[in-house]
Amino acid sequence: MSKENYDTKLVVLEALPQEAVKSPTIPVDVFMQEAENLYVWAEEDKETLVAKGLDWQVYGEDLPVRTGACRYAQAIWMKERYSQEEAAKAWRKESPKAYEFRNDLLADLRFAFRKRSDLIARVRAIADGEGDADMIQDLMDISVLGKANASELEKIKYDLRNLELAAQRSDTLAELLAKANGTTLDNSKAKAMRDRAYTYLKEAIDEVRDTGKYAFRKDPERYKGYISQYKRR
């Protein structure tokens, strides 16, 4: 049902102006539960709220649909966040081994090419630079250079399978790093859509609450249902 709500509201969510989009100020699961509670509470006061100018169809009746859309958007965001955190964790584990492998390969090439100044200059150029992206590129460059000069490596009885492994690890690490870093958590599309769904739901909640607090300002028993219990705490 939440996915259906999300699909129904997707065009509206994407059309929200960027400057209007807000990030949650309270835990989203709490916010959504308050929205569901508010709908049940406000339904009893529907006539009074409508009499005070609330567009029930747009804000009251639509509350459960907006809540469902927000619930689904939150689920997608949490799934993406989890997978990115897993990738970052895997990167922290794999990268030290990759740096060591790269350094060993460079040492192998320096020894194999020690009598070839032209090739040593190429090795030196590969070894220049620093950072994760540079290390990943180094592995690919080492693989290409080594394969192009396999005869020099065979003289030292080198295991040429290392060159194939270097290319494979370069590809794998590039993908892993992109997943861990490529889209920062704060800027991901999933988070942007979650924030839009939250903003859209908040609009309806604010309208219903504001109208309810005004309509029942002299009736504490009904008034209390239009206050955020989370913020009250």
Q: Please answer whether residues 162 and 108 qualify as being in contact, where contact means their C-beta atoms are separated by less than 8 angstroms.
A: yes
Distance CA 46, CA 12 (A): 25
Ramachandran quadrant class, 227 (left: phi over 0; alpha: psi -120 to 50; beta: rest): beta
Specify the range with the lowest mean pLDDT, choosing from 47-56, 142-151, 187-196.
Answer: 187-196
Report the amino acid identity of residue 106: L
Q: Please answer whether residues 202 and 14 qualify as being in contact, where contact means their C-beta atoms are separated by less than 8 angstroms.
A: no
Residue-wise pLDDT for 161-202, tens only, equals: 999 999 999 999 998 998 887 555 555 788 999 999 999 999
Residue-wise pLDDT for 71-108, tens only, equals: 999 999 888 888 888 899 999 999 999 999 999 999 99
**What is the predicted pLDDT for the residue at 226?**
96
Q: Please answer whether residues 54 and 207 qualify as being in contact, where contact means their C-beta atoms are separated by less than 8 angstroms.
A: yes
Record the pTM: 0.67
Rounded average pLDDT over 106-131: 95
Q: Please answer whether residues 70 and 198 qualify as being in contact, where contact means their C-beta atoms are separated by less than 8 angstroms.
A: yes
Distance CA 101, CA 114 (A): 20
Q: Please answer whether residues 184 and 191 qualify as being in contact, where contact means their C-beta atoms are separated by less than 8 angstroms.
A: no
HEC-encoded secondary structure of 70-84? HHHHHHHHHHHHHHH
Nearest to 95 by CA among 141, 143, 123, 134: 134
Q: Which residues of 186-208 are buried (b: 16+ CB within 10 A; e: fewer)?
A: eebebbbbbbbbbbbbbbbbebb
